Structure 1
Amino acid sequence: MRGNFGDTIKIWTSGSDSYQSLIQFKDIIKNQSFGITQFVKSIDNDGRIYVSTYHQTEFIYRNDSLFEMGNSNPPASEPLTQLFDQYFFKKQIDKNTYEARLDSLHEIEEKQAVYTPKLIFSEKMFQNKKEVTPSKKLNFEGDTIELENKWTENGKTCYLIRINNKTKDGEKTTYAYAIDENVRFIQWEGCTVK
């Protein structure tokens, strides 16, 4: 799903799908995200309920530049999450306690998040180069953005941009977006004709 809100673009994509028993589903409908980012997809013949959880990605398109919103105050909860995981998998805490503690951590992370736009695309960026590293002022994560491909489809110029970086541990990260000249996300919005 896509929503345009002024210069803000919000895209929701399916993050995970899972079957839930009726008992599990009763807990899901109590979540604040139910009906917003969690939906019932179908009900199986055996009575299990197929639930889809969607992930929101937010962009800002302003002055011919595309910015991706990111948390410039990254959470430090990873060690705590790993600790809870160990207790849960060793069966030292029950599922309800495990889920409640993780939910609390996620709530704290969300309250401490500082969402900041980071530049990921402008056609002018690639006039002389195929790869650009914007200043930290424009891209707080220090991403290197690569124009991986440029082509014409249905009379529109399309771009495949790849965002590369490294984690604090030095592991490489990479992801890509394909957009057309009207900032339609080709892979998510079904722009291709087959």
Structure 2
Amino acid sequence: MRGNFGDTIKIWTSGSDWYQSLDQFKDIIKNQNFGMTQFVKSIDNDGRIYVSTYHQTEFIYRNDSLFEIRNSNPTLSEPLTQLFGQYFFKKQIDKKTFEARLDSLHEIEKKQAVYIPKLIFTEKMFQTKKKVTLSKKLNFEGDTIELESKWNENGKTCYVVRISNRTENGEKTTYAYAIDENMRFIQWEGCTLK
């Protein structure tokens, strides 16, 4: 799904899909996200319910430049989530306690989040090079942006832009967006033949 709100673009994509029994599904429909970012995709022949959870990615398109909105202050809740998960899966804590602790961690993350736009594309970036490393003034993570490909389709110029960096541990991170000249997200909005 895509929503345009002034110069802000919000795109919701399927983040995880899984089958739920009817008892599990009864808990899901009580969740505040059900109907907003969690939806039923289908019901299987055996009665299990296929639930999809959507993730929001937010952009700003202003003055021919595309910015991705990212949390500049991420917390390290993943290790704590794994720790709680180990206790839960070993049946050392019950489901209610496990979910309460996860909810608390997510609330802390939300309160500490600082969302900042970072430049990820403008055609001018690639006039002389196919790969540029942006200053932290333009892109707070100092990402390297690469124009992976450029082509014309249905009279529109299309681009694949790859964003790469390294984590604090030195691990490489990379992801890409395919967009057209009107800032339609080709892979997400189903407008490509490639």
TM over 0.5: yes
**What is the match of residue 98 of structure 1?**
98
Matched, 1:75 2:75: yes
Question: Which residue pairs with 2:114 in the alignment?
Answer: 114
Query: Offset of 1:127 from its aligned partner?
Result: 0.6
TM-score by length of 2: 0.95
Q: Let me know the Cα RMSD of the aligned residues.
A: 1.3
Q: Classify the secondary structure of the residue corresponding to 1:32.
A: coil
Mean Cα displacement is larger for which, 94-103 or 122-131?
94-103
Sequence identity percentage: 86
Which residue does 1:18 correspond to in 2? 18
Aligned-pair distance for 1:137?
Answer: 1.4
Matches of 1:42 and 1:107, distance apart in 2: 30
Aligned mates of 1:131, 1:193 — CA distance in 2: 25
Deviation at 1:94, TM superposition (A): 2.3
**Matched residues in 2 for 1:161 and 1:168: separation?**
23
Structure 1 residue 24, shift from structure 2 partner:
1.1
Q: Is 1:41 equivalent to 2:41 in the alignment?
A: yes
SS in 2 for 1:118: strand
| Consecutive aligned runs of 4 or more in structure 1 exceeding 3 Å deviation | none
CA distance in 2, matches of 1:112, 1:31: 22
More displaced, 127-136 or 43-52? 43-52
CA separation in 1, counterparts of 2:131 and 2:85?
Answer: 39
5+ residue gaps in structure 2? none
Which 5+ residue runs of structure 1 have no aligned equivalent? none
The CA deviation at 1:106 is 1.1
Shift of 1:63: 0.4
1:50 partner letter: Y
CA distance in 2, matches of 1:108, 1:37: 20
Q: In structure 1, what is the Cα distance between the partners aligned to 2:80 and 2:121?
A: 35
Within 2, Cα distance between the matches of 1:89 and 1:63?
Answer: 50
Query: What is the identity, as a one-letter code, of the residue corresponding to 1:135?
Result: S
Matched, 1:141 2:141: yes
Determine whether 1:166 maps to 2:148.
no
Tell me what 2:27 maps to: 27
Other structure's SS at 1:140 match: coil
Alpha-carbon offset, residue 168 of structure 1: 0.8
Superposed displacement of residue 56, structure 1: 0.6
TM-score by length of 1: 0.95
Q: 1:124 aligns to what?
A: 124
The SS at the match of 2:136 is: coil
Shift in Å at residue 23 of structure 1? 1.5
Q: Distance in 2 between matches of 1:32 and 1:144?
A: 37
Cα-to-partner distance string for 1:132-182 (whole Å, 9 max, x where unaligned): 111111111111100111111111111110000001100000000010101
